[in-house]
Amino acid sequence: MRMLVQPVTRNKKTTARITVIAMYLGESDSLVSLLRKDFPELGIVKENCNETSWIDSVLWWANFDLGTQPTALLDRDLNDADFLKRKSDYVQTPIPREGLESLWKKVIELGKVGLVFNAYGGQMNRLNSDETPFPHRAGNLYKIQYSVTWHQPGDEADRNFTTRAKLLHEFMTPFVSKNPRSAYLNYRDIDVGSTKKWSYEGGKVYGESYFNGNYERLVDVKTAVDPNNFFRNEQSIPPRSIKTEKNNKSFAEH
């Protein structure tokens, strides 16, 4: 289940629209019964549901219209090029009502950028943060995605839209995780930090945001299996030191 917050304009007035979407493995009658019990505020009715096959749900999550043939997934050139920016946060304590009201106003002010709230808890709470490399489990209420997509090419458009996502991310600072401010790895947000030298200290900047207290152990694993840092990208885990191929000496940059 996820909640989307987007600015919309109706009758020349801009407001924040909140949409809740989810996928449920079962019949709609049982889902309606469950949500009426646990989330009566949603006012869910059977007409809000679509019963479909799994492959049709894949199409729906990919923003295809219901009834689209699965062969559409084979089209490698389906859409025109889009540009996008994604940022993330984790929320560990409930955002107060006044914080949410100020957030709705900020979304309206910024215009294009929206948010996606992904609920955690449930099975996620069964694992502590140090049981797998992915640490964002027990203790996290939900993940926030800051989302902006645009079609216009060019540096000016890039700066305009990415700045909106950054401003909303900055606005949320009082309400999200701290020390470190956690982030979700798969959004590839270079603002979290990056490196071209792959030093231990350089990697720590983004490594602790993505992996929290697991960063040290991941550095140890990297050092053991890839000491020369052959497999790397601008946000990869660095080894503690890198051996030069010419003289087999080790060095470490800090």
What CATH number is attached to the domain comprising 132?
A: 3.40.462.20
pLDDT tens digit string along 54-77? 999 999 988 899 889 999 988 877
Say what the pLDDT of residue 251 is. Answer: 47
Say what the pLDDT of residue 243 is. Answer: 57
Q: How many CA atoms lie within 13 A of 192 on its CB side?
A: 26
What's the rounded Cα separation, in Å, for the pair 123 and 29? 24
Looking at 186, 206, 241, the residue that finishes a domain is 186
Vertex 134 angle, CA 132 and 137, to 5°: 90
Range of the domain at 128: 83-186
Check whether residue 176 and residue 90 sit in a common domain: yes
CA torsion angle 127 212 177 38 (round to 10) = -20
Check whether residue 107 and residue 179 sit in a common domain: yes
Check whether residue 112 and residue 26 sit in a common domain: no
Looking at 137, 159, 186, the residue that finishes a domain is 186
Say what the pLDDT of residue 241 is. Answer: 80
Per the structure, the count of domains in the chain is: 3
Q: How many CA atoms lie within 13 A of 113 on its CB side?
A: 26
Average pLDDT over residues 36-45: 90
Average pLDDT over residues 177-185: 97
Looking at 186, 206, 239, the residue that finishes a domain is 186
Average pLDDT over residues 223-249: 82
**Residue 187 known to be catalytic:** yes
Neighbouring residues of 247: CB distance < 8 A, sequence distance ≥ 6? none
Please say whether the beta carbons of 200 and 219 come within 8 A. Answer: yes
Has residue 138 got a pLDDT over 80? yes
Check whether residue 101 and residue 169 sit in a common domain: yes
Average pLDDT over residues 30-34: 94
Average pLDDT over residues 240-248: 58
What does pTM read for this prediction? Answer: 0.86
* Catalytic residue selected from 24, 184, 187, 200: 187
Has residue 254 got a pLDDT over 70? no
Average pLDDT over residues 186-203: 93
Check whether residue 155 and residue 203 sit in a common domain: no
pLDDT tens digit string along 109-123? 998 899 999 999 888
Average pLDDT over residues 220-247: 85
Q: Is the dihedral of CA 52, 56, 60, 64 positive or negative?
A: negative
Has residue 246 got a pLDDT over 50? no
> Closest Cα partner for 235 from 200, 203, 197?
203
Has residue 80 got a pLDDT over 70? no
Average pLDDT over residues 33-46: 91
Say what the pLDDT of residue 244 is. Answer: 46
User: Helix (H, G, I), strand (E, B), or coil: what is residue 116?
Assistant: strand
DSSP sequence for 41-84: GG---GGG-----HHHHHHHHTTPPTT--GGGGG-TT-S---EE
What's the rounded Cα separation, in Å, for the pair 207 and 202? 9
Check whether residue 7 and residue 61 sit in a common domain: yes
